[in-house]
Amino acid sequence: MDTIPTSDVVIAIRGLKISFGDLHVLRGVDLDVYRGENLVVLGRSGTGKSVLIKILVGLLRPDAGTVQVLGQDVTRLAGRELDELRLKLGFSFQNSALYDSMTVRENLRFPLVRNVRNLSSAEVNKAIEEALDDVGLSQTIDQMPSELSGGQRKRIGIARTLILKPDIMLYDEPTAGLDPITSGDINELINEVKERHGTTGIVITHDLTCAKTVGDRVAMLLDGRFERIGTFEEVFEQRADDERVQQFYDYNFVS
Amino acid sequence: MASNTPNAATTTQPPPKRTLTRRFQGMLLNLNDVWQFVTRFFREVFLPPYEFGEIVRQCFEVGYKSLGLISLTGFITGLVFTNQSRPSLAEFGATSWLPALIAIAIVRALAPLITALIAAGKVGSNIGAELGSMKVTEQIDAMEVSATNPFKFLVVSRVLATTLMMPVLTMYTAFVALVGGFISVNANEATSLATFVEQAFSAITFLDVFSSTAKAFVFGFTIGIVGCYKGYNSSKGTEGVGRAANAAVVTSMFLIFIEEVIIMQLVNAFRPA
């Protein structure tokens, strides 16, 4: 097994395997994510992209392999230790996963007051307003999630994770189901989050425009392994060598 | 003909032994899941942090949501039960026993059972649907990644709320049903309130009140744990949410009747002859 580097590597995955019954989803994944970069994970639906980031936050347990996040092996953590690590990770869900029964303000307040002790109500309100301001949706503060558009829900979902000032942001299909203009806004927001907060990001998507716009590097997940990792240009330069990569590119850019 | 073609027969009818084995395995796995869920509840309920605010909020929800329906059902049950019992007692000239009969029937059996069935339909389905919806839209995962224990926040608080509120609601149902019974007795037999109360309460023993309260606790726990289990483990999709809500009601109602029979037998064993 390779030595897991430290210093600038914030996520180091080695030999990661996970199966669901007879379905072998990840078949020995190796990946390093460096501090301050946005890494885009590309792949077909059902290839285990979302499974990968769910393993990173401890929502799923792998069958084999090590997953070091900020120097800690997630596969060996539980209870309070796992919760402490989770507070350094922001997870933006595919369908936003906003709490339906709470207003936008309560959605943002929930993780903050439960995890940061001794905050005055003025400090809580200020943090909520700042997080909403970061995503440009201050006016929605007293609205219910059902009153928001798909794009707004995504933004509020990102704001809810930003309020805890995470070191790493995990975005699960951030542009799925959104129109091109809103998708562009979300891509811009992902880049802003990285620049303004200095976060490292993993973006799960099959939208190549998103990958090109936000990705410092792109990793292509094919048949349960990362077969191509590099800049967007490096990954797709030799696309003609692999029919699957070619199809992926052609469908997105209609060439 | 199908009966003369063995190949066709084997393709359309799977071997019964294998199917039964698989069903039995599935049932055992299901029972194991339920056991794990229930033991996790008892483990988490005593461990800090305690979600007092959420428990109080859920108690309010359980009580408030069922109150209207329970008031109406309890009142009508008391009124109708009294009216239906009168002719039988009248045959023996024993209508003066009506207050005692009503009180015994309501406190021992009707109040806990009616309250539990109403709450299973109203609260149990709500819990199943709410948690099922939270599960399929990843809200439970979102809670977990934000370092909040969703089992403690969602399940423990709801199960405690239904368990604690059910005895309160049962007492309320008994009161409303007795009011219904009194109105009928007062209108037909001109029994005064003081006489009604005296006759009703002289018929009720400590064992009746105790067994009724114990039953209410058990029914409340059943409604909460079944609703939470079905919702928390619902499968993906909106169909799963509907199924969770439905299963929460059907399963808890079935269990409530089974528990009623068992507790009744246990209590009767302690009752003086």
Check if A192 contacts B (Cβ < 8 Å): no
Rounded Cα distance between B28 and B36, Å, is 12
Give me the residue from B133, B134, B145 closest to A91, CB to CB: B145
| Confidence at B12, pLDDT banded by 50, 70, 90 | low
Q: How many CB atoms lie within 10 A of CB B15?
A: 9
What is the reported pLDDT for B40? 95
Mean pLDDT for the stretch of residues B234-250: 87
Mean pLDDT of A53-68: 94
Q: Report residue B16's pLDDT band, with 50, 70 and 90 as the boundaries.
A: low
Residues B191 and A95: their CA atoms lie apart, in Å, by: 64
Does any domain span residue B39?
A: no
Q: Which two tokens stand for residue B178?
A: 């007795």
> With 70 as the cut, is the pLDDT of residue B250 above it?
yes
Instruction: Indicate whether B31 belongs to any domain.
Output: no
Interface of A with B in 38-57 (CB under 8 A): 54, 57
Q: Which of A97, A100, A161 has the CB atom closest to B141's CB atom?
A: A97
| Pairing verdict, β A225-230 and A217-222 | antiparallel
> Quick one: average pLDDT of B62-71?
90
Contact B147 A94 (CB under 8 A): no
Q: Which of A99, A106, A168 to mutate to test the interface with B (most CBs of B within 10 A)?
A: A99
Print the domain residue range for B230.
Answer: 49-270
Task: Give which of A112, A59, A51, A53 is closest to A87, Cα–Cα.
Answer: A112
Report, as an integer, the average pLDDT of A82-109. Answer: 94
Mean pLDDT, rounded, for B166-186: 96
Distance from CA of A142 to the nearest CA of B (A): 19
How far is it, in rounded angstroms, from Cα B234 to Cα B139?
13
In this structure, what token pair is assigned to residue A195?
């620049």
- Give chain A positions within 8 Å (CB) of B139: 97-100
By DSSP bridging, strand A200-205 and strand A168-172 are: parallel
Name the phi and psi angles at B140, rounded to 5: -70, -40
Structural domains of chain A sorted by starting position, each given as residue range(s) with its CATH number in brackets: 9-88+166-253 (3.40.50.300), 102-165 (no CATH)
Residue at B41 is within a domain = no
Rounded CA-CA distance B243/B264 in Å is 31
Beta carbons of B146 and A57 less than 8 Å apart: no
- What is the tens place of the pLDDT at every residue in B84-97? 999 999 888 888 89
Question: What pLDDT does residue B255 have?
Answer: 96
Tell me if B10 is assigned to some domain. Answer: no
Domain membership flag for residue B92 = yes
pLDDT tens digits for range A2-44: 444 456 899 999 999 999 988 999 999 999 999 999 999 998 8
Q: Can you give the length of chain A in residues?
A: 255
Burial grade of A94 (CB within 10 A; 0-12, 13-18, 19 or more): middle
pLDDT of A77 above 70:
yes
- Does residue B51 sit in helix, strand or coil? coil
Contacts of A164 in chain B (CB under 8 A): 146
- Which pLDDT belongs to residue B13? 57
Strands of the sheet containing A200-205, edge to edge, are A89-92, A168-172, A200-205, A38-43, A217-222, A225-230
If contacts are CB pairs under 8 Å, which of residues 196-235 in chain A contact chain B?
A: none
pLDDT at B3: 41
Q: What is the pLDDT of residue A7?
A: 66
Q: What is the 3-state secondary structure (H, E, C) of chain A?
A: CCCCCCCCEEEEEEEEEEEECCEEEEEEEEEEEECCCEEEEEECCCCCHHHHHHHHCCCCCCCEEEEEECCEEHHHCCHHHHHHHHCCEEEECCCCCCCCCCCHHHHHHHHHHHHCCCCCHHHHHHHHHHHHHHCCCHHHCCCCHHHCCHHHHHHHHHHHHHCCCCCEEEEECCCCCCCHHHHHHHHHHHHHHHHHHCCEEEEEECCHHHHHHHCCEEEEEECCEEEEEECHHHHHHCHHHCHHHHHHHHHHHCC
Phi-psi region of A108 (alpha: psi -120 to 50; beta: other; left: phi over 0): alpha
Higher pLDDT pick, B272 / B125: B125
Token pair of B121 as six digits: 């339909």
Taking CA–CA distances from B147, the nearest residue in chain A reads A83
Considering only B14-23, B191-200, B261-270, which range has the smallest mean pLDDT?
A: B14-23
Are residues B141 and A115, on separate chains, in Cβ contact within 8 Å? Answer: no
CB contacts, 8 Å: A160 with chain B: 146
Q: How many CB pairs lie under 8 A apart between chains A and B?
A: 52
| Shortest CA gap A92–chain B (Å) | 9
**Per the CB < 8 Å rule, is B146 touching A59?**
no
A176: its two tokens: 């799925």
Q: Which residues of A touch B145 (CB under 8 A)?
A: 57, 59, 86, 89, 91
Q: If you average pLDDT over every residue of chain B, what do you get?
A: 90
- Return the sign of the alpha-carbon dihedral for residues B42, B43, B45, B46: positive
pLDDT score recorded for residue A1: 43
Rounded CA separation A247/A220 (Å): 13
Average pLDDT over all residues of chain A: 90
Minimal C-alpha gap between A115 and chain B (Å): 7
* Predicted pLDDT of residue B2: 39
pLDDT for B11 beyond 70 = no
**Both tokens assigned to A99:** 């709490």
Residue B27 is inside which H or E element, if any? helix B16-46
The verdict on ipTM greater than 0.95 is: no
pTM summary value:
0.86
pLDDT, residue A43, reads: 87
A191: distance to nearest CA of chain B, Å? 23
Q: At residue A118, does pLDDT exceed 90?
A: no
Could you tell me the pLDDT band of residue B4, with boundaries at 50, 70 and 90?
Answer: very low
Q: How far apart are CA A191 and CA A199, in angstroms?
A: 10
Name residue B78's amino acid: G
pLDDT at position B15: 56
Considering only B45-49, B77-81, B192-196, which range has the smallest mean pLDDT? B45-49
Q: Please name the member of B130, B134, B145 whose beta carbon is closest to the beta carbon of A59.
A: B145
Q: Is the confidence at residue A103, as pLDDT, over 50?
A: yes
* % of chain A surpassing 70 pLDDT: 96
A242 pLDDT tier (thresholds 50, 70, 90)? confident
Residue B265 lies in a domain: yes
Q: CA of A95: which chain B residue's CA is closest?
A: B137
Q: Which of residues 78-137 of A touch B (CB under 8 A)?
A: 83-84, 86-87, 89, 91, 93-95, 97-101, 110-111, 114-115
Q: How far apart are CA B178 and CA B199, in angstroms?
A: 12
CB contact under 8 A, B137 and A95: yes
Residue A205, beta-bridge partner list: A42
Residue B18, pLDDT score: 63
Asked if the Cβ–Cβ distance from B147 to A98 is below 8 Å, we say no
| Candidate from B5-14, B66-75, B223-232 with smallest mean pLDDT | B5-14
Q: In what order do the strands lie in the sheet with A23-34?
A: A23-34, A9-20, A64-69, A72-73
- Asked whether residue B22 carries a pLDDT value surpassing 90, the answer given is no
Distance, C-alpha A246 to centroid of its chain: 25
Q: How many domains does chain B have?
A: 1
Nearest by CB: A83 against B134, B141, B147? B147
Provide the shortest C-alpha distance from residue B46 to chain A (in Å). 16
pLDDT at B6: 43
User: Could you tell me if residue B40 is inside a domain?
Assistant: no
Return the residue of B nearest to A109 by Cα. Answer: B146
Contact A83 B141 (CB under 8 A): no
Q: What percent of chain A has pLDDT over 90?
A: 69
Choose the closest CB to B146 out of A84, A95, A111: A111
Q: Answer whether residue B29 is part of any domain.
A: no
- Band of the pLDDT at A122, cuts 50, 70, 90? very high
Whether residue A75 lies within 8 A of chain B, CB to CB, comes out as no
Tell me the per-residue pLDDT of A134-160, one tens digit each, with 9 for 90 and over: 888 999 999 999 999 999 999 999 999
- The band of B8, judged by pLDDT with boundaries at 50, 70 and 90, is very low
pLDDT at B44: 93
> Could you report the per-residue pLDDT of A167-190, keeping only the tens digit for each?
999 999 999 888 888 899 999 999
